[in-house]
């Protein structure tokens, strides 16, 4: 067991020495790997932030009920009665006068509203059902549509569905991007290790002659690939962290201008570790492929 | 003990470097493989060191038939041999000590113990004072002594050398001869391929004389 540890420690030391002795090459490789992992890493955190936004928005799904423009107070009363019986959630009546006042307050709308000969807006109800399952909401929407003097019923979760579809698309694109850049990382490591094997041909030849096993010869290259990939992953995490820190302020400001409180979250420690681990695994894979092919000529 | 029976080595293209060679070397014996250039000395050393595999015949070393061992077992067999080459095959980017440490790293000896043994091996060949020197800073004779230190550091039962004095002046060659003899006297089986007749005159060893791949 101590021999096993000694060999692994020696292999790790050899890999660190190789990284240290070629600082320029190491830096360039880390930059390439870091940038390759930054894009999918950034995409992941960004989409996750947007998914949080979708989740918080979907918790207040609403149905907007618009009355006919000629609906009377009695008609409105009838709807209120039906809502009391039909819905277990909250609902709120928005009189046409209140709607017009709100419209007037909207930027650039005051003059337009003032120029109108009469109020074109109908009375409305905003309904927030307790059960926000899409199927339940759809059934409720259809039922309400059949009530007297109801002109239009709008299920306000449609945008959430579209937003969710957009997120799914974004997630797919992110995984495709991760796959492409992951393959790039494997290729970078493959080439670096291939050059190292060529440069150390004499050492490998001598080591084999004096009793080195394949595992002994391969091990430092595996450690090198994993270390390079892992450090590249760490660099990517730092780049993602930096980019999100820079963007967080302007994004929050933009969101507040639209009346929201959306903010970008920074990567969690587990996600940083995940990025480092992913880099290490891909680096190891590149080393494995490269060493297997490069060492054939020594057989 | 080394027992070769009807050993043949034919290379792709049909050239037969070793033809129907049979011999026996007892444990602790010093044996010279002699012959003119191209006689098959180097090929025979490579067969003994499992660097080459015989085409025909058997080669039994310490009870193990090297002609029939699995590829994965070869590294472990090689650890029983100390190998010295005419061109030394040193690692020129590593210090003398690090060169000698390599076989011990391969077997996974803990660093402290490995350094102690490597320094002892360097001391035996008179190079302890130069342990930090790179091989390029050593003379030809010193480089060959360094190669011997690397060959013996794992305490092999058999020391194999291919023309170890081929590139050396007479004084350095005599030093190398003395070192091989000293290892032989403590029980190490020494097999040396050489065309240097001074070995025969000085140590009266067992001699395997090759001519065109055949033992004569």
pLDDT (tens digit, 9 = 90+) per residue, A228-250?
999 999 999 999 999 999 998 88
pLDDT at A87: 58
Most distant CA atoms of chain B, gap in Å: 50
Q: What tokens does A196 get? A: 């190292």
pLDDT at B40: 92
Asked whether the predicted pLDDT for residue A56 surpasses 70, the reply is no
**Does the distance separating the beta carbons of A210 and B106 come in below 8 Å?**
yes
pLDDT at A1: 64
The verdict on B105 touching A (C-beta cutoff 8 Å) is yes
**Does the distance separating the beta carbons of A208 and B106 come in below 8 Å?**
no
Q: Could you tell me the pLDDT band of residue A299, with boundaries at 50, 70 and 90?
A: low
Out of A33-37, B62-66, B131-135, B200-204, least confident range: B200-204
pLDDT at B204: 78
Chain A closest-CA separation from residue B74 CA (Å): 7
The verdict on A205 touching B (C-beta cutoff 8 Å) is yes
pTM above 0.90, yes or no: no
Asked whether the predicted pLDDT for residue A129 surpasses 90, the reply is no
Asked whether the predicted pLDDT for residue A58 surpasses 60, the reply is no
Residues with Cβ within 8 Å of B214's Cβ and at least 6 positions away in sequence, in order, are: B19, B20, B21
pLDDT at A57: 59
Asked whether the predicted pLDDT for residue A110 surpasses 90, the reply is no
Q: B166-174 long-range CB contacts below 8 Å, 24 or more apart?
A: B166/B86, B166/B194, B166/B196, B167/B86, B167/B87, B167/B140, B168/B140, B168/B141, B168/B144, B169/B140, B169/B141, B171/B141, B172/B139, B172/B140, B172/B141, B172/B144, B173/B141, B173/B198, B174/B198
The verdict on B106 touching A (C-beta cutoff 8 Å) is yes
Q: Could you tell me the pLDDT band of residue A213, with boundaries at 50, 70 and 90?
A: very high
pLDDT at A130: 79
Greater confidence (A135 vs B171) lies with B171
Asked whether the predicted pLDDT for residue A59 surpasses 70, the reply is no
Which residue in A has a C-alpha nearest to residue B46's C-alpha?
Answer: A209
> What is the pLDDT of chain B when averaged over all its residues?
91
Q: Could you tell me the pLDDT band of residue B175, with boundaries at 50, 70 and 90?
A: confident
The verdict on A254 touching B (C-beta cutoff 8 Å) is no
pLDDT at A55: 60
pLDDT at A54: 63
The verdict on A206 touching B (C-beta cutoff 8 Å) is yes
pLDDT at A220: 93
According to DSSP, residue B88 is labeled -
pLDDT at A34: 92
Mutate to test the interface with A, among B69, B90, B108 (most CBs of A within 10 A): B108
Mutate to test the interface with B, among A211, A214, A219 (most CBs of B within 10 A): A211
pLDDT at B95: 96
**Does the distance separating the beta carbons of B83 and A209 come in below 8 Å?**
yes
**Does the distance separating the beta carbons of A216 and B91 come in below 8 Å?**
no
**Does the distance separating the beta carbons of A10 and B154 come in below 8 Å?**
no
Asked whether the predicted pLDDT for residue A22 surpasses 90, the reply is no
């Amino acid at each position: 067991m101590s021999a096993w540890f000694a060999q692994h420690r020696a292999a790790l030391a050899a890999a660190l020495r190789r990284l240290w002795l070629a600082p320029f090459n190491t830096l360039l490789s880390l930059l390439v790997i870091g940038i390759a992992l930054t894009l999918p890493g950034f995409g992941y955190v960004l989409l996750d932030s947007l998914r949080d936004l979708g989740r918080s928005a979907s918790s207040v799904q609403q149905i907007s009920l618009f009355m006919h423009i000629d609906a009377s107070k009695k008609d409105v009363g009838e709807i209120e009665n039906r809502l009391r019986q039909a819905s277990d959630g909250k609902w709120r009546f928005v009189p046409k006068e209140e709607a017009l006042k709100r419209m007037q307050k909207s930027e650039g709308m005051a003059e337009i509203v003032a120029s109108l000969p009469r109020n074109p807006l109908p009375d409305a109800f905003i309904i927030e059902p307790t059960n926000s399952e899409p199927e339940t909401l759809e059934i409720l929407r259809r039922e309400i549509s059949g009530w007297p003097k109801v002109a239009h019923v709008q299920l306000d979760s449609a945008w959430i569905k579209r937003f969710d579809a957009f997120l799914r698309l974004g997630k797919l694109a992110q995984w495709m991007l991760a796959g492409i850049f992951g393959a790039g990382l494997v290729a970078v490591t493959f080439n670096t290790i291939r050059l190292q094997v060529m440069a150390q041909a004499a050492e490998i030849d001598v080591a084999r002659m004096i009793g080195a096993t394949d595992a002994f010869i391969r091990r430092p290259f595996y450690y090198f690939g994993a270390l390079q990939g892992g450090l590249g992953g760490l660099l990517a995490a730092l780049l993602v962290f930096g980019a999100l820190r820079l963007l967080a302020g302007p994004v929050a400001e933009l969101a507040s201008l639209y009346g929201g409180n959306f903010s970008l979250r920074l990567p969690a420690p587990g996600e940083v570790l995940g990025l480092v681990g992913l880099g290490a695994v891909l680096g190891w894979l590149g080393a494995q492929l490269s060493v297997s092919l490069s060492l054939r000529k020594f057989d | 003990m080394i027992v070769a029976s009807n050993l043949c080595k034919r290379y792709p293209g049909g050239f037969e470097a070793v033809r129907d060679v049979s011999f026996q070397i007892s444990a602790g014996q010093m044996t010279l493989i002699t012959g003119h250039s191209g006689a098959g000395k180097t090929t025979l050393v490579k067969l003994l060191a499992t660097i080459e595999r015989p085409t025909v015949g058997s080669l039994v070393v310490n009870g193990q038939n090297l002609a029939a061992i699995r590829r994965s077992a070869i590294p472990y067999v090689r650890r029983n041999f100390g190998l010295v080459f005419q061109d030394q095959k040193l690692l020129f980017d590593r210090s003398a000590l690090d060169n000698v440490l390599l076989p011990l790293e391969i077997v996974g000896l803990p660093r402290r113990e490995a350094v102690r043994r490597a320094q002892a091996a360097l001391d035996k060949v008179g190079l302890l004072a130069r342990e930090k020197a790179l091989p390029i800073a050593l003379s030809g004779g010193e480089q060959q002594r360094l190669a011997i230190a690397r060959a013996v550091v794992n305490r092999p039962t058999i020391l194999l050398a291919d023309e170890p004095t081929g590139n050396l002046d007479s004084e350095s060659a005599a030093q190398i001869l003395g070192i091989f003899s000293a290892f032989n006297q403590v029980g190490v089986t020494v097999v040396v391929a050489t065309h240097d007749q001074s070995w025969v005159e000085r140590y009266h060893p067992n001699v395997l004389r090759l001519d065109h791949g055949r033992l004569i």
